[in-house]
């Protein structure tokens, strides 16, 4: 996927990442931590790692340039257990490096079997919003957003949260 995104940006020289593009990679054990390099090298508004299903410790994972770390155990018939120390280590490293941390689940036969708490706390952090706020229709085009997402006469007066809610719905459609 990173190669596809890089090829897209190669066709758009001099332009930065689209404001609504979040790019990530799944890393389930230490063998695949190099995927984080591809994420770091690719233009994106938010870069994330999904360490799920986490099947081993990730001592080689470098969180430099990563905005969000999602961790979760495997679920379903035959799910392999996740060691609590692996999740704690990633949480602690994310916190010390200023990376938003989201703990999805411990895993088990069903997704909710093991719960979502680490040491009595649920971790639902999200990366900070890094999207510019458009103020007119020309900026919608510049950001790669649908021009009909918001009426012209309302763009400048809408609260940021309402504006981005409307734009998110339009982008997903």
Supply 159's token pair: 């609260």
11-58 per-position pLDDT tens digit: 777 666 766 678 899 999 999 999 999 999 888 889 999 999 999 999
- The domain of 6 spans 2-122
Residues 150 and 118 in one domain: no
Cα dist from 160 to 41, 45, 152, whole Å: 30, 17, 15
With respect to residue 10, please indicate whether it lies within any of the assigned structural domains: yes
The mean per-residue pLDDT over the stretch 109-135 comes to 81
With respect to residue 130, please indicate whether it lies within any of the assigned structural domains: no
With respect to residue 145, please indicate whether it lies within any of the assigned structural domains: yes
45, 15 in Cβ contact below 8 A? no
> Which pLDDT score is estimated for 35?
94
* Reported pTM: 0.73
Tell me the pairing of strands 117-118 and 121-122: antiparallel
> Which pLDDT score is estimated for 110?
86
Q: How many domains is the chain built from? A: 2
In the block, residue with structure tokens 């309402």 = 162
Residues 111 and 164 in one domain: no
**3-state SS assignment for residue 114:** coil
């Amino acid at each position: 996927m990173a190669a596809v995104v890089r090829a897209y940006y190669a066709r758009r020289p001099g332009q930065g990442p689209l404001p609504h593009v979040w790019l990530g990679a799944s890393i389930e054990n230490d063998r695949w931590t190099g995927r984080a390099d591809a994420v770091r090298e690719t233009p994106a508004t938010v870069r994330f790692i999904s360490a799920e299903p986490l099947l081993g410790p990730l001592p080689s994972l470098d969180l430099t340039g990563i905005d969000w770390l999602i961790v979760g155990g495997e679920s379903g018939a035959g799910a392999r257990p996740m060691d609590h120390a692996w999740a704690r280590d990633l949480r602690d490293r994310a916190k010390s490096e200023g990376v938003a941390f989201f703990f999805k689940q411990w895993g088990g036969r069903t997704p909710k079997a093991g719960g979502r708490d680490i040491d009595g706390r649920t971790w639902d952090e999200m990366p900070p919003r890094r999207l510019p706020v458009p103020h007119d229709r020309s900026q919608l085009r510049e950001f790669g957003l649908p021009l009909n997402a918001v009426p012209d006469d309302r763009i400048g007066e809408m609260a940021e949260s309402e504006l981005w809610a409307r734009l998110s719905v339009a982008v997903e459609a």
